[in-house]
Amino acid sequence: MTFALIGNSDKSNLQRVAAALIAFATQKGARVIADEDLTEIVRGICETAPPKKLAAACDIAITLGGDGTVMKAAHRVGFLGLPILGINIGTLGFLAEVPVEEMKRAITEVLRGNVDREERTLISARATSGKKIFTANALNEIVIDRRASTRMIRMETYINDKYLNTYVGDGIIVATPTGSTAYSLSAGGPIVSPGSRVFIITSLAPHALTARPFIVPDDDEIRMIVYSEAGSFSLSADGQEGCSLTSPATVILRRSEKAVTFIRRKNITSYDILRAKLLWGKDARAEASKKVFRKK
């Protein structure tokens, strides 16, 4: 088996963890090829390759970092069909769900075939502004926002060509279930089970008290006509790729024909991850009180 290695070079422990991963995988008879971005990190211990060659030559991508690194891997090789296993050397880690302490065990399980594969929906965007056309796929979300301007933008929104609402504010997030625990959650959106076939529309700082998150089936088409008082606005996909568009512009969002596959350890569910990361069932008040009274 051949692993593609993709990592976050901003992490101070990346070089140490990458070296340990490569040594262990090699010991187990596997081959590791690192993303070309890690050339300096793995020099002398591992070969490197650009994304298309990684996707063609490897069986599974392993990420070292947090959820942002998983997003990077999705855009570099996941959209090309390479399954992803996330090792967490970041902070929260909803997608990079394997703790670094469990890295060797997880790799052993992969080599034995004792893992599950879970397919996640992508959202595709097509934006048209005059003669300019921008297209992108996203695993988490498509974001339309006002960029650096202090002026609001207006988004006239239609579902399957039926008028829904005109959102006015800083922007809007259209998220997949995977992205429901990311930017959308920070903006007040709901947590949605990853297997749900829906998209979540969440306003950013809406200029209306009644603008609430709205969920639509993912086989619906979402069309927005976007007007910016400043003359332009931005559209981004997972924070990985994006563009500046001139007002007015039309943005069409649909479920992508592509998908991203994640390698999941058996007997660990998405609900287990939510409980662990969001501390469900934990009494944070009691722990905080203990710390305060210890100081006394």
Distance of CA 76 to the CA centre of its chain: 12
State residue 295's pLDDT score.
60
Q: Where are the alpha helices (DSSP H) in 79-159?
A: 103-112
Report, as residue numbers or ranges, the catalytic residues.
Answer: 67
Mutual angle of helices 14-27 and 103-112, in 10-degree steps:
30
Helix (H/G/I), strand (E/B), else coil: 278: helix
State residue 58's pLDDT score.
97
Q: How crowded is residue 295: how many other Cβ atoms within 10 Å of its Cβ?
A: 5
Retrieve residue 83's tokens: 């399954």
Alpha-carbon gap, residue 199 to 254, rounded angstroms = 9
Percent of the chain with pLDDT over 70: 96
- The CA dihedral of 285, 290, 295, 296, to the nearest 10 degrees, is 100
73 backbone dihedrals φ, ψ, rounded to 5°: -65, -40
What are the start-end ranges of the E strands in 76-152?
84-88, 98-99, 115-129, 132-138, 141-145
- The CA dihedral of 80, 82, 88, 89, to the nearest 10 degrees, is -70
Pairing of strands 214-217, 198-204: antiparallel
Mean pLDDT, rounded, of the chain: 93
Q: How crowded is residue 124: how many other Cβ atoms within 10 Å of its Cβ?
A: 17
Report the pLDDT averaged over residues 241-256.
95
Q: Picking from 41-50, 121-130, 277-286, which range would have the lowest pLDDT averaged per residue?
A: 277-286
Pairing of strands 249-265, 115-129: antiparallel
> In terms of Cα–Cα distance, which of 263, 262, 269 is closest to 114?
263
State residue 296's pLDDT score.
55
Q: What is the pTM of this model?
A: 0.91
Q: Which helix (H) or strand (E) holds 232?
A: strand 232-237
Q: Picking from 76-90, 98-112, 278-292, which range would have the lowest pLDDT averaged per residue?
A: 278-292
Alpha-carbon gap, residue 282 to 46, rounded angstroms = 42
Grade residue 270 by pLDDT with cuts at 50, 70 and 90.
confident
Q: What is the DSSP letter of 17?
A: H
| Partners of 119 in beta bridges | 261
Alpha-carbon gap, residue 272 to 283, rounded angstroms = 17
